[in-house]
Every structure is written in C-alpha cells, then in structure tokens.
Structure 1
Amino acid sequence: MTAPRIEVRGLTRLFRGGAGVRGIDLDVIAGEIHALVGLNGAGKTTLMRLLLGMLRPAAGAVRIDGQPLNTADWSNVGHLVETPLAYGELDGRTNLMLSARLHGAGADRAARMVGDVLTELNLTRYAAVRARRMSLGNRQRLGLAAALQHRPRVVVLDEPTNALDPAGVILLREALVRRAADGAGVLVSSHHLDEVARVAHRITVINAGRVIGTLDPRGVDIERSFFALVHADDTPADRSPR
C-alpha cells in the first residue's frame, strides 16, 4: 500500500494560554486536494508549521511520503505558510530562480521551471519587477509560484487566496487541480468554504486545536454544516443533575 503524501498522528503542541493543537490525526493521499477549514485561531497555521518542521511537537509524529521529518525529501515539498518569502530587492524572476535552485534544479531546468510558472500564474509582466514594488496580490502569486514551480509531490498552502483578485484565485485553483492530477498530495487551509469546496476532495474541520469532523465538498449547504459542527463543539455538554 502506498504511503500517504502526508501522515499526521497524535500531533500536539500547546502554547501558554492553551492555544495550539491537540492530538491531530490527518492524512493527505496522492492525487488529493485536502482542505483544512476553521475559524481564525482554530490551529490551522500551527498545524501546518508543525508538519513542515517549523515548530517542534510536544507529542505525535509526522511523515512526509512515508518518511519522518528528519529524513524527508524536502526538494519534493512546496509550501507557503502565512506570508510569501521573497527578497524585496530582487525581481520576480530572480526570486523564483533562487527558489528553484534551492529545490535542487540545475540552471537550465530552473530557467524552464521559472518561465513555465510565470506563464501559469500570469506573472510574466512582473518578472523584472522588484518584489518590494509588487502589490500584495502579486507578491502572493510570487510566493505561490515558488511553492509550485518544481512540481512537488507534497504541497502545503496556508490561506493561499489571501490578497488574490478573482483572476488570481481562478489561476491558483487550476494550478492546484493540475498538481493533484499529476499525483501530488495538496493540503490547503482556508476559511473560505465556498472556494475550497470547488476543488477539495475532502474537507476537515478544526476547532480549538482539534479535528471535530469532516464536510462533503458536494454538500448542499456546506457553510451551515460547518457552523453547526463548530457550534456543537463550542457548546458545553449538559452536566445538570438528572
């Protein structure tokens, strides 16, 4: 049996005050777009930082393509968490070339990858523009381009539609569908239910740092179902005397 692209078991990391994640179990399989949804502060970003090795868990384990984090092949991982990483004084093409080379691409292959992704995300006109002069939306596209250009087997994106205009959202949606069709496992966090429902194969709901249920992307009233799950989780059980 093929290992999941991402496998999370019992993942726990708590911060002072109680925020964090508690006992998270999650799988992302090859060819799948798996959406993680929750309200602000639910623990989505913390979970993504943990499974990328940016934070150390207090308990639990993460495997990437069947390997623990310390031996995972990071050249086959693409991610964007919180804010796009770009050198402000460098132009778009140079930023992407650096990212491609850091992911192990030789000079010729890197140049082809950069050209392809600039076209795919409609960034060609900004290839010679310094990142610090780009709009927030185009900086976001640049970060997404860096995460996707090397055709990684594992894609982890935290609120990837932030600052994107409608055209950018559509381009991203199409790019993710292509990556999944090529066999990547894609994990996307969002609080835009209508958008993730368009592309997700599975939707997992997280609240107060715990997985509390799943949603059917093809459901009729997915937003109502989401809030029903969250409300039920936030409502204390009836402990009145019987």
Structure 2
Amino acid sequence: MREAAARRRPADPPVVRAAALARSFGDVPAVRHVDLVVRAGEVHALVGLNGAGKSTLLRLLVGLLRPGAGTAELWGAPAWDAPAHVRARVGYAGGGRAYGELTVRENLRAAARLHGCAPRDADRRADALVERLALGRWASRPARTLSDGNRQRLAVASALVHDPALLVLDEPTSALDPAGVIEVRQAVLERADTGAAVLVSSHHLDEVARVATTIHVVHDGRVVGTLPPDGTDLERQFFRTVHAAAVS
C-alpha cells in the first residue's frame, strides 16, 4: 500500500468525480449508479470479474463515452464535453491500440506531439520511455509486428509520454511477463509520486495492492465495496464482497 502524495492540499478539487454515473447499451446496463472521487496523488484500482463493467466505467470517467445518467467530471468540467486543455492532462491506455505502420519510437513521438510537445522534446520523451519500459529492441520496428505484451508496453508508454496529471490504465499488465509487470508498477508509482492521480483496472489483486491507495470492487456495473490495500487475504475478501453483492 502507498499513501497519497503529501503535496495534495485538502481544498484541491478532485481530479475525477462521478455521481450516480450510469450507462446502458440497449437494454443492458453496463454501469449503474457509481459514485467515485479521485484526488491528486491517489491511485485507485478497479477490480472485478470479466464483464463487471470496469472498462466501460473507465471510459465514462475520462469522457470517451457519454453517460446515460449521472455525471462524470474531470477537474470540475463535464468529462464528455471537457475542453481540449482538460483532455490534454489525461493519459489513457486501453486495448493496446497504436499506429501499426509507425515504429515504436515514431508512435511515442506522435503521441507527444499530439499533446503539444515540441519536436525535440517529443524525441527526448520518446527515447526516455523506450528505455524506461524496455522497448529498445523493438524501437525501430513497426508497431503491428509487436507481441501482445510489447503492444501493452507501448500503450502504457504512450499514455505516459506527456506527463499526464491523470493516468488511466485499463488492464495494463494482462499480457506482460513478470519483468513487464514490475516496469509498469514502477511507472505508476513514479507518476503518482509527482502528484498525478491514477486509475487502473486489473484482475490481479496482489499486484494492485502494491500500488493502490484505494481498491474498489466492481460487480454487475456497480462499485459494491472497497478493500484495504494493506489487508490480508485480499482474494477471500474480494469474493466475499462479490458474493454479497450478487445475492443482495
């Protein structure tokens, strides 16, 4: 477990705030009545079974999906209609998407340039993240040739390249080997230690407990409980929470 960055002041507005947030696809509810607050320096983890609604919730929180009901805000602005300068403060990695014909280094340069970095600064940032996430062997290869694990590394690097004030990672380690998991874990901790807020979804309770300040259990589109990151037997607590929600 880690503590939120000490530099955060209690009066600072939340980075992320959701109130009664909901979204359905057709007649199928995907997210139901979620309330959530994330402040600078905090790392919030969403854990749940497949299909629980974690990815949809993240996309709503960063404004990639329009809410069906309720609100999602980024620094007090509606996430769906957030102005460009607000969106520019967010780094999002989900699905491992990249420009397939561009090399790894070119993808990172492009991401930096899209966020307003000058050419030389974009080059510097790309090179630093190639090194940081152990992508050097593949830096000159087209992204379409990467393994699933290296695509995931590239997605995380692209989300980090502009030093976002909010880092959002959807299952960032699902295809990674143990070394890659450690690299992403360290990148998350370093980002949070600068005062950035972090949201991450995962199936791996033990892993998120190493970085999270708060662990939220997601089931059937709802946040049904929280787990203490420094608690014991997290898996048992998780399944107990899910079972209680399922029978309630």
Pick the TM interval, shorter chain. Answer: over 0.9
- Could you tell me which residue of structure 2 aligns to residue 40 of structure 1? 50
1:151 counterpart SS class = coil
- Could you tell me which residue of structure 2 aligns to residue 10 of structure 1? 20
- Could you tell me which residue of structure 2 aligns to residue 212 of structure 1? 224
Provide the C-alpha distance between the structure 2 equivalents of 1:66 and 1:170, rounded to a whole number of angstroms.
33
- Could you tell me which residue of structure 2 aligns to residue 77 of structure 1? 90
- Could you tell me which residue of structure 2 aligns to residue 67 of structure 1? 77
1:180-195 superposed matches below 5 A:
180-195=192-207
Alpha-carbon shift at residue 224 of structure 1 (Å): 0.2
Counterpart code for 1:76? R
Q: Any stretches of 5+ residues in structure 1 without a counterpart? A: 237-242
Aligned length: 235
Provide the C-alpha distance between the structure 2 equivalents of 1:105 and 1:139, rounded to a whole number of angstroms.
23
Alpha-carbon shift at residue 27 of structure 1 (Å): 1.3
- Could you tell me which residue of structure 1 aligns to residue 7 of structure 2? none
The counterpart of 1:31, out of the listed 38, 41, 49, is 41
Alpha-carbon shift at residue 26 of structure 1 (Å): 0.8
- Could you tell me which residue of structure 2 aligns to residue 165 of structure 1? 177
- Asked if the contact 2:63/2:82 (under 8 Å) is kept, the reply is no
Provide the C-alpha distance between the structure 2 equivalents of 1:53 and 1:78, rounded to a whole number of angstroms.
12
Q: Any stretches of 5+ residues in structure 2 without a counterpart? A: 1-10
Alpha-carbon shift at residue 18 of structure 1 (Å): 2.6
1:214 counterpart SS class = strand
After superposition, the C-alpha distances for 1:21-78 in whole angstroms (9 at most, x for unaligned) are: 1110111111111101111111101111112222211111111122222234111100
Alpha-carbon shift at residue 176 of structure 1 (Å): 0.3
Counterpart code for 1:64? L
- Could you tell me which residue of structure 1 aligns to residue 127 of structure 2? 115
2:175 counterpart SS class = coil
Counterpart code for 2:52? A
Provide the C-alpha distance between the structure 1 equivalents of 2:121 and 2:171, rounded to a whole number of angstroms.
29
CA distance 1:71–1:53, change in 2 (3 Å): closer
TM-score, normalised relative to structure 1: 0.94
2:88 counterpart SS class = helix
Counterpart code for 2:44? H
- Asked if the contact 1:19/1:43 (under 8 Å) is kept, the reply is no
1:174 corresponds to 2:209 = no
